[in-house]
């Protein structure tokens, strides 16, 4: 159990004043029905998109490729040690940043009152959700020891990769270790019971200066103790941006190039705190295209909506699979199985050719189609990436594509923020095409057919492209 002492009175007073001046979070409603209605910031921003600009990112981020490694399903063992043994393969695939899902001690409270809807619906009966934590400072022995975690980070660094930890600060578990001594660390109802947030977990009282100091100690401790390089911050837009700005400042005082990725959609987040934000508009659209629920033309609309809604130079993380989107219940199938390897490959190529940083998820590099769940592990469901088929034709083809795309991003870091030029196509319901002109005179063009019929058209300059069903063309 982590013993906490509140910081010096001066620091607490300053934090209290900061918290008191923080404007309230204002949740924004959808702009209409359907997919386009979701294209909006989740919370109101104090910075007008047209007149504000995002902070610059550390130079190394520009040419990076990210990989989300969900420890409990990455290997059959579900441990840091087993994952560490496979880091060399990720390095060979061109991965630069390993985003490790939460390693902190998960709350094992079996009371379904404190389970999320998905946790109940999955029927795997695992009380331990990595995103409902009992102790922010402890390593969950499901994955190994502190020494195992440090060895994982050290091996990634030895191979030339960086590591991100996952921070889950909006809520905690009902049996969180600090509640006995600090019952005021969570928001409470008038009758004294915990106020449960969106996922039925107690909400942390981030307006309490002592809570902020507790969490800042957690962040800075990870940097000092594990030499971690960055943080992915869970539902970060549900916490005040000044909390993250101060946390980022303290971490960067220890390690200047610490980078932060925001899971959320708020225009203030990249002014001083975050370097990357989930590209949800394009992510939702790619998923809808896979499902046959969106025309190809919607991708351009999603991209333009992000330009409209966020400060100039905003930086995005592009993916269409992650632990939330790959999450299935027993008997359900993953996107690879439902929509085919070719269409999934086209979406991966799209993530790599758009601006920002691309992210692969747990086994996508071998077109893994085995079921995944936030709640599955070696004791519940025994679900994990099926590495036994890494040598089959589909897996080899996918890995070759991934290595081609990662090499492209490494060779051309200006793809991070070079212009995205969209092209008109004759059948916009079926296909989209865009180019990336780079400062060195190189231009890359991607054309994608999301339909089950062949599509042919001419790209700018007169080059003809013929796309097979669910196929894509990447040309220089």
Give the SS3 label for residue 416: helix
Please give the pLDDT value at position 24: 77
216: left (phi over 0), alpha (psi -120 to 50) or beta: alpha
CATH number for the 419-476 domain, one of 2.60.40, 2.40.30, 2.30.230, 1.10.3470? 2.60.40
Both structure tokens of 111: 């009371």
Low-confidence ranges of the chain (pLDDT < 70): 1-23
Q: At what angle do helices 209-226 and 241-254 cross, to 10 degrees?
A: 30
Alpha-carbon dihedral 196, 198, 204, 209, rounded to 10 degrees = -120
* Distance (Å, whole) CA 249 – CA 255: 10
Q: 33: burial class by Cβ within 10 Å (0-12, 13-18, 19+)?
A: exposed
Residues in Cβ contact with 4 at an 8 Å cutoff, skipping those fewer than 6 apart: 178, 181, 182, 210, 213, 214, 217
- The torsion angles phi and psi of 166, rounded to 5 degrees, stand at -100, 125
Yes or no: say if 325 and 360 are a contact pair by the CB < 8 Å rule.
no
Yes or no: say if 445 and 350 are a contact pair by the CB < 8 Å rule.
no
Residue 372 is classified by DSSP as B
Continuous segment of H or E residues that includes residue 98: strand 97-100
| Nearest by Cα to 373 from 165, 201, 131, 151 | 131
Please give the pLDDT value at position 23: 65
Strand stretches in 306-428, DSSP E: 316-318, 357-361, 421-423
Please give the pLDDT value at position 108: 97
* Distance (Å, whole) CA 412 – CA 131: 35
* Distance (Å, whole) CA 40 – CA 84: 39
The structural domains of the chain, with segments of one domain joined by +, span 26-417, 419-476
Superfamily of domain 26-417, CATH level 4? Glycosidases (3.20.20.80)
pLDDT tens-digit map of 164-175: 999 999 999 999
Domains 26-417 and 419-476 share a fold: no
pLDDT tens-digit map of 29-45: 998 889 999 999 999 99
Continuous segment of H or E residues that includes residue 184: none
Residue 21 is classified by DSSP as T
**Whole-prediction pTM:** 0.94
Length of the chain in terms of residues written: 476
Q: At what angle do helices 209-226 and 9-20 cross, to 10 degrees?
A: 110
Yes or no: say if 206 and 273 are a contact pair by the CB < 8 Å rule.
no
What strands lie across the sheet with 431-437, from one edge to the other? 421-423, 431-437, 443-449, 472-475
- The torsion angles phi and psi of 158, rounded to 5 degrees, stand at -60, -35
């Amino acid at each position: 159990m982590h013993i906490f002492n509140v910081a010096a009175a001066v620091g607490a007073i300053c934090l209290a004043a900061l918290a008191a001046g923080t404007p309230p979070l204002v949740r924004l409603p959808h702009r209409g029905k359907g997919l386009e209605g979701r294209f909006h910031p989740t919370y109101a921003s104090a910075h007008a998109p047209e007149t504000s600009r995002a902070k610059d990112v550390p130079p190394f981020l520009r040419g990076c490729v990210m990989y989300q490694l969900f420890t409990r399903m990455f290997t059959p063992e579900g441990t840091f040690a087993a994952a560490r043994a496979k880091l060399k393969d990720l390095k060979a695939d061109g991965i630069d940043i390993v985003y490790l899902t939460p390693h902190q001690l998960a709350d094992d409270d079996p009371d379904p009152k404190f389970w999320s809807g998905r946790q109940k619906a999955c029927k795997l009966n695992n009380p331990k959700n990595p995103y409902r934590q009992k102790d922010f400072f402890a390593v969950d022995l499901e994955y190994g020891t502190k020494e195992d975690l440090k060895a994982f980070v050290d091996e990634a660094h030895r191979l030339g990769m960086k590591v991100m930890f996952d921070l889950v600060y909006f809520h905690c578990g009902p049996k969180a270790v600090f509640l006995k001594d600090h019952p005021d660390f969570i928001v409470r109802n008038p009758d004294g019971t915990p106020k449960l947030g969106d996922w039925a977990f107690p909400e942390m009282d981030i307006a309490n200066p002592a809570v902020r100091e507790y969490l800042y100690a957690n962040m800075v401790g990870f940097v000092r103790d594990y030499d971690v390089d960055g943080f992915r911050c869970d539902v970060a837009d549900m916490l005040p941006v000044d909390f993250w700005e101060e946390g980022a400042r303290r971490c960067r005082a220890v390690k200047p190039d610490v980078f932060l990725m925001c899971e959320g959609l708020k225009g203030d987040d990249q002014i001083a705190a975050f370097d990357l934000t989930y590209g949800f508009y394009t992510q939702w659209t790619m998923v809808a295209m896979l499902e046959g629920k969106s025309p190809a033309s919607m991708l351009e609309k999603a991209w333009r909506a992000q330009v409209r809604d966020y400060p100039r130079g905003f930086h995005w993380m592009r993916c269409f699979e992650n632990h939330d989107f790959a999450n299935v219940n027993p008997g359900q199938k993953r996107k690879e199985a439902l929509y085919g390897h070719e269409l999934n490959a086209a979406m991966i190529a799209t993530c790599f050719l758009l601006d920002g940083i691309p992210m692969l998820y747990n086994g996508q590099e071998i077109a893994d189609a085995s079921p995944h769940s936030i709640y599955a592990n070696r004791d519940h469901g025994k679900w994990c990436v099926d590495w036994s088929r890494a040598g089959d034709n589909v897996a080899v083809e996918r890995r070759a594509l991934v290595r081609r795309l990662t090499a492209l991003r490494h060779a051309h870091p200006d793809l991070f923020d070079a212009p995205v030029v969209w092209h008109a196509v004759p059948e916009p319901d079926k296909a989209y095409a865009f180019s990336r002109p780079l400062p060195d005179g190189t231009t890359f063009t991607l054309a994608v057919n999301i339909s089950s019929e062949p599509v042919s058209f001419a790209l700018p300059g007169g080059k003809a492209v013929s796309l097979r069903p669910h196929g894509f063309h990447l040309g220089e």
